[in-house]
Structure 1
Amino acid sequence: MTTLGTASADPGEFDTGRLTVGETRDGTAVGLPVAVVNGERDGKTLYVQAASDGDELNGVGVVRRFVPQLDPADLAGEVRVVGITNYHAFQVAEHRNPIDDTKMNRAYPGNPNGSSSERIAHATFSAAEDADLILDLHQGSTSRMINEVRVRCGRHHRMHSECLELAKVFGTGHVLDQKGPDGQLARAGPDDGIPTIDPELGGCVGWDEESIRYGVDGVFNVLRYYGFLDGDVETESQTRAKEFDRYGSPVGGLVSFEADLGEEVSAGDTLFEVTDVFGTLKATVTADSDGIFWRSRRLPQVATGEYVCSVGTNVDSF
């Protein structure tokens, strides 16, 4: 029998339940929605979680699409799912956990006696630490971003090749292969010997159907490639960026982009212009290096020094 919180499933069964991670301010228990799909045949274990940032909802959209399609009778091994990880932030549609003002994906592997975020990280990592593979579903917050997968363990990590293979199998077409900050699940997993990736499924307010489709396809690519489900997966070449150039605005005003998401840019190409409210040009910002136009802010208004966009650099294919 496989158990995750109150969800328990024998081989050939599926169950949902709650994983208790603390209490609210009135003493009500906080339980994350969880699911277990236990295949009739022995096999690997896949752990999937979504919404560790409370306003990143595309991963939740992926969960609600792929879980109903899993039939334990067709599955080898088991799939464990935490559908909403950052409970408190999700309730108020915010990025960070409002209880401790913490970004959940900086709290792994967690602490059972720590802050709210550290306790949630500990509970979810405990559910993942004996898995064979981990998918931590994200998106580029509410900004605009291409669909990509992040490998965050660092290129010299002992698990790097396994994580990179998992990213290629997931198959969004773009990969950011750059060591991430301390406390990310995509770093804690490889440190524990588990190939882990961080699919960043676009960026939007609410749900983006195209990005959700990328995510669902990616999960099923993983399930088939690693033998959970029957079927072949032909991996395709991915465009990989190893670094990011971030651009802020040198002035305040209104931004007009000259590059589109996913477009190749060359050093010296115009990325964006800033005008005043009457259309008078105040600044033109160009690319410092060749790369891929990766991410941009959603709103046009900016203050001096405010973030505007990112270009993925040091690009190759694998």
Structure 2
Amino acid sequence: MTTTLGTASAEPGEIDTGRLEVGETRDGSPFGLPVAVVNGAGTGKTLYMQAASDGDELNGVGVLTRVVPRLDPAEISGTILIVGIVNYHAFQVAEHRNPIDDTKMNRAYPGSENGTSSERIAHATFDVAKRADVILDLHQGSTSRMIDEVRVRCGKRHRMHEECLELAKAFGCGYVLDQKGPDGQLARAAPDEGIPTVDPELGGCVGWDETSVQKGTEGVFNVLRYYDFLSESHDLNRQIRASSFEQYGSPVGGVVTIEKELGQQVRAGETLFEVTTVFGETKAEITADSDGVLWRARRLPQVATGEYVCSVGTDVDSY
């Protein structure tokens, strides 16, 4: 059976790329999102993947550049639908939000066919996503230093919570944030349609980071194996799960030294970071309020009073 996505069309055992037209630019020229269809030779589930719904989060794009060339439709059972760049306008100018309507795309789902620029793109990509059995929305945490994690955003009372947790565990970054997300996220909207969906948040950097891209590439292939798109098996490994964050800012200005490594366990009362003068004179030592895991930390050492320094994942367990 032929599978199409925009102008991409593939028979069983074929792969094709094309564009999904979603509107016009300011000069009236049509524009389309880059898409790919991998139509496996065997029957099976459908996976939907997308990247760059936030235009400066590029690690997901890096993952797709590694994954797609390695996909052999002859060895795949099922179908893979991919939108390579969701936030088209923001990607062009290397910004986070869509500059046409100043909107964060991952707050616009499920979108609207007749809405703003972001709502129209969200609507078009959500229509594709609803064709899937599982969804990976590839993100990048921030420009801060951040662990590679997978976010389950549907909330613990949602009927799809366990299925989303299973998908996060299959991806296998090692760390999971299990916390209900804001309205408008794809990982909130798609579970309402009965589709397990997660946000792999692949580190933090400017541009893309090869270590996080490799981790994300491995995660995608883990999912393909676990959900039988590929014949090889994939065993689930225990993940460190956090359900909330504590954020820490600096009480003074100066130069920060963070005492823990990302992913390292933190005990209440332990020193998280020290702030010194430019001559190394100690001005403040900040300790952890709770047990947890160092999840995220600022990249630059200089801080002003009240400026963000780091986050600790709390309510931590292993599942």
Q: Please give the TM-score of this superposition, normalised by the length of structure 1.
A: 0.97
SS at match of 2:286: strand
State the partner residue of 1:202.
Answer: 203
State the partner residue of 2:214.
Answer: 213
State the partner residue of 1:262.
Answer: 263
Whether the aligned pair in 2 keeps the contact of 1:4 and 1:80 (CA below 8 Å) is: yes
- AA of the residue aligned to 1:250: P
Aligned-pair CA distance for 1:185: 0.7
State the partner residue of 1:130.
Answer: 131
State the partner residue of 1:303.
Answer: 304
Aligned-pair CA distance for 1:262: 0.6
Aligned-pair CA distance for 1:106: 0.8
Identity of aligned residues (%): 75
State the partner residue of 2:184.
Answer: 183
State the partner residue of 1:249.
Answer: 250
- AA of the residue aligned to 1:11: P
Deviations 1:212-249 (A, max 9, x none): 11111111111111111101111111011111111122
SS at match of 2:243: strand
Q: Distance in 2 between matches of 1:112 and 1:277?
A: 54
Q: Distance in 1 between matches of 2:34 and 2:142?
A: 21
- AA of the residue aligned to 1:36: V
Aligned-pair CA distance for 1:256: 1.5
- AA of the residue aligned to 1:203: G
Mapping for residues 61-210 of structure 1, pairs under 5 Å? 61-210=62-211
- AA of the residue aligned to 2:148: N
Aligned-pair CA distance for 1:30: 1.9
Task: Mark the runs of 5 or more structure 2 residues left unpaired by the alignment.
Answer: none
SS at match of 1:295: strand
Deviations 1:45-88 (A, max 9, x none): 00000111111111101101111111111111100011111111
State the partner residue of 1:56.
Answer: 57
Q: Distance in 2 between matches of 1:199 and 1:149?
A: 4
State the partner residue of 1:23.
Answer: 24
Deviations 1:108-157 (A, max 9, x none): 11111111111111111111112100000011121110011000001111
Whether the aligned pair in 2 keeps the contact of 1:144 and 1:202 (CA below 8 Å) is: yes
Whether the aligned pair in 2 keeps the contact of 1:95 and 1:141 (CA below 8 Å) is: no
Computed over aligned residues only, the root mean square deviation of the Cα atoms, in angstroms, reads: 1.1
- AA of the residue aligned to 1:91: Q
Q: Distance in 1 between matches of 2:296 and 2:280?
A: 24
Q: Distance in 2 between matches of 1:101 and 1:254?
A: 33
Q: Distance in 1 between matches of 2:3 and 2:119?
A: 24
Whether the aligned pair in 2 keeps the contact of 1:48 and 1:82 (CA below 8 Å) is: yes
Q: Distance in 2 between matches of 1:273 and 1:17?
A: 51
Q: Distance in 1 between matches of 2:304 and 2:126?
A: 39
Count of residue pairs the alignment pairs up: 318
Aligned-pair CA distance for 1:207: 1.7
- AA of the residue aligned to 1:49: Q
SS at match of 1:136: strand
SS at match of 2:18: strand
SS at match of 2:170: helix
Q: Distance in 2 between matches of 1:65 and 1:273?
A: 39
Are residue 41 (structure 1) and residue 78 (structure 2) matched? no
Are residue 289 (structure 1) and residue 319 (structure 2) matched? no
Whether the aligned pair in 2 keeps the contact of 1:55 and 1:141 (CA below 8 Å) is: no
- AA of the residue aligned to 1:128: A
SS at match of 1:33: strand
Q: Distance in 1 between matches of 2:281 and 2:103?
A: 40
Whether the aligned pair in 2 keeps the contact of 1:55 and 1:142 (CA below 8 Å) is: no
Q: Distance in 2 between matches of 1:203 and 1:306?
A: 18
SS at match of 1:187: helix
Aligned-pair CA distance for 1:279: 3.1
Q: Distance in 2 between matches of 1:245 and 1:29?
A: 45
Q: Distance in 2 between matches of 1:125 and 1:289?
A: 39
State the partner residue of 1:275.
Answer: 276
Aligned-pair CA distance for 1:187: 0.6
- AA of the residue aligned to 1:63: L
Aligned-pair CA distance for 1:172: 0.5
Q: Distance in 2 between matches of 1:263 and 1:82?
A: 35
Q: Please give the TM-score of this superposition, normalised by the length of structure 2.
A: 0.97
